[in-house]
Structure 1
Amino acid sequence: MPEPLEAAEAARPRRRGRTTLIIAAAAVLGVVAGTCTGFVVQANREPTALPPLSQPVVKQAKGEVEPLSAAQDRHVKVNGDLRKLLLKKPKGAREPDFVAGVDGWMDIAEYADLYEKPQNAFGNLATDEFRRAAVTDWLVGRTYSVEILLTQFRQERGLTAADYTSDQQGFAGDEDNTDSWEIPGTGDGWAYVHNSPDTKPGYLPLYSAEAMATRGDIAMTVWVYDTKPIPKKKIMDLAKRQMERL
């Protein structure tokens, strides 16, 4: 009997479309138009007196501030071994026959290979300042499987991690017969349960659920697969516990 991950090609990540770029362009045009209107209105008004330049002097505190420890400083944590931030495999779980990545890491070429058009995905990931990705997956019994991916972006030119999460959420939410919920405490996190299974001749029906959220420069993605419907509690619990580690 084939493992669920072998039949999960339809549920793999999809590169983001042009929707984000179109919305961004429209937003810029709206800002420009609003700014021009503001100049016209302001030009017809009487000049407003400026506040005095002198301001109260705030006394500087004495003494030295104790630096954060490595455990408290998130910058240190996320720039270390990203694999250590992944959830640990639960007791009794085992590795699937086909493990994602190599030694818990997934380079840009392997990451692009998750997409329907790897060559296009590779270029887009490079443009989006892909830095690195850590991955873990496990199998419980013969039908229940989990895969978690932490994707880190350089973010030198924009908030790419949040954009990536938003785009993947758009794809997940657009699927038919899908329930979704916000992930408490994450800001932008959402979990999705797809109630209609993927079917393929010779394979068992495959149900899936997924969750995406962002913390700083890291985009978290969780996938769950099973041959029976996946309850909300399972995907929400995994997503919340993984985000707590970030």
Structure 2
Amino acid sequence: MVVPDAPARVRPRGATALLLAVAAVVGISAGTAVGYGVQAGREPEPLPALSQAGLAYPAKPLPAGERPPALSAAEDRGVRTNGDLRKLLVARPAGARNVPADWHDDNWADIAFYADQYEEAGSLFFSVLQKEVRRIAAASWEKGDRAYDIHLLQFRSSRGATEIADDVKAYLVGVEQDDQGLSGDALAGSGNGRYYLLKPVREPGYKPVYEARAVVQRGDIVADLSIWDTSPISKRDIRMLAERQLERL
């Protein structure tokens, strides 16, 4: 390891520079002393009142007819996202049925069970907590051999949601995928949403298990969507599911 040389110290050139530096210090000290002396001889000035009349705005409440109308749910995202998060879950596909799952109760999910689907479950669990997750709404459906898992994770800030969405997408880039590419496909109109087709899991004596995933973030909410099937899953299927979920957000 090469240790860089310490930066050279610049020295004043000649006695003139030294005299000027001393004079400057003396001048500053003398000025400070005089200023303190003048201030000490003055009478103290009274502080302004802590509360002053006339600062309130507006001075009088507006008449009922002149008050601006409240924002509708379509204009104010907080009206919807701060309500029952379960109502924002994407609608169940036609012909699918709800499936009881041990990892959610009444469409509310447990953080540990959500994280457990990842190889680095402990790391994701603490990351979700660190980003201040508020709640997780979830749903599970089945339609023939096809199964769906939906998660909506709401955080206390959009920043936390963005960071978790990036973490999940980074994980999906790292796992084996099909020949569509390691970066997944962009979900049009979502900003940062992507969807992925993973390589099927094959074991002797069992049908192959295909998996498709989508991750999309809108404001303080992350949608994590999964489809499993014993037959190949098309990009269109996972993309349309993600688009419908995005519309709900």
Residue 146 of structure 1 and its aligned partner are, at CA, apart by 1.2
Q: Provide the identity percentage.
A: 40
Judge conservation of contact 2:103–2:114 (CA < 8 Å) in 1. Answer: no
Residue matched to 2:136:
133
Residue matched to 2:229:
226
Paired AA for residue 162 in structure 2 = A
CA shift in 2, pair 1:166/1:117, >3 Å: closer
Query: Is residue 2:170 matched to residue 1:166?
Result: no
Residue matched to 1:108:
111
Residue matched to 2:178:
177
CA shift in 2, pair 1:226/1:160, >3 Å: same
SS in 2 for 1:188: coil
Judge conservation of contact 1:145–1:226 (CA < 8 Å) in 2. Answer: yes
CA distance in 2, matches of 1:118, 1:181: 25
SS in 1 for 2:87: helix
Residue 71 of structure 1 and its aligned partner are, at CA, apart by 4.6
Deviations 1:12-60 (A, max 9, x none): xxxxxxxxxxxxxxxxxxxxxxxxxxxxxxxxxxxxxxxxxxxxxxxxx
Residue matched to 2:246:
243
Query: Is residue 2:237 matched to residue 1:213?
Result: no
Q: Cα RMSD between the aligned structures?
A: 2.2
Residue 172 of structure 1 and its aligned partner are, at CA, apart by 1.5
Judge conservation of contact 1:100–1:136 (CA < 8 Å) in 2. Answer: no
Judge conservation of contact 1:136–1:148 (CA < 8 Å) in 2. Answer: yes
Paired AA for residue 126 in structure 1 = L
CA distance in 1, matches of 2:212, 2:112: 25
CA shift in 2, pair 1:203/1:97, >3 Å: farther
Residue 118 of structure 1 and its aligned partner are, at CA, apart by 4.8
Residue matched to 2:12:
none
Residue 203 of structure 1 and its aligned partner are, at CA, apart by 2.9
Residue 117 of structure 1 and its aligned partner are, at CA, apart by 5.6
Candidates 141, 145, 148, aligned match of 1:146: 148
SS in 1 for 2:104: coil
Residue 97 of structure 1 and its aligned partner are, at CA, apart by 5.6
CA distance in 2, matches of 1:120, 1:184: 30
Residue matched to 1:41:
none
Residue 64 of structure 1 and its aligned partner are, at CA, apart by 4.1
CA shift in 2, pair 1:224/1:133, >3 Å: same
CA distance in 1, matches of 2:124, 2:163: 15
Residue 91 of structure 1 and its aligned partner are, at CA, apart by 3.0
Query: Is residue 2:193 matched to residue 1:189?
Result: yes
CA shift in 2, pair 1:199/1:98, >3 Å: farther
Deviations 1:80-112 (A, max 9, x none): 100000012233212336454101001334334
Residue 168 of structure 1 and its aligned partner are, at CA, apart by 1.3
Q: Which runs of 5+ in 2 are unaligned?
A: 1-61
CA shift in 2, pair 1:107/1:97, >3 Å: closer
Paired AA for residue 68 in structure 1 = L
Paired AA for residue 178 in structure 2 = N
Paired AA for residue 242 in structure 2 = A
User: Bigger relative contact order, structure 1 or 2, given CA contacts below 8 A and separation 6+?
Assistant: 1
CA distance in 1, matches of 2:105, 2:123: 22
SS in 1 for 2:153: strand
How many matched pairs? Answer: 181
Residue matched to 1:73:
76
Query: Is residue 2:198 matched to residue 1:204?
Result: no
Please say which of residues 207-216 and 99-108 is displaced more in the overlay.
99-108
Paired AA for residue 151 in structure 2 = L
CA shift in 2, pair 1:232/1:119, >3 Å: closer
Q: Compute the TM-score of the two structures, normalised by the length of structure 2.
A: 0.66
Please say which of residues 101-110 and 173-182 is displaced more in the overlay.
173-182
5 Å-filtered alignment, 1:28-39, equals none
Paired AA for residue 191 in structure 2 = G
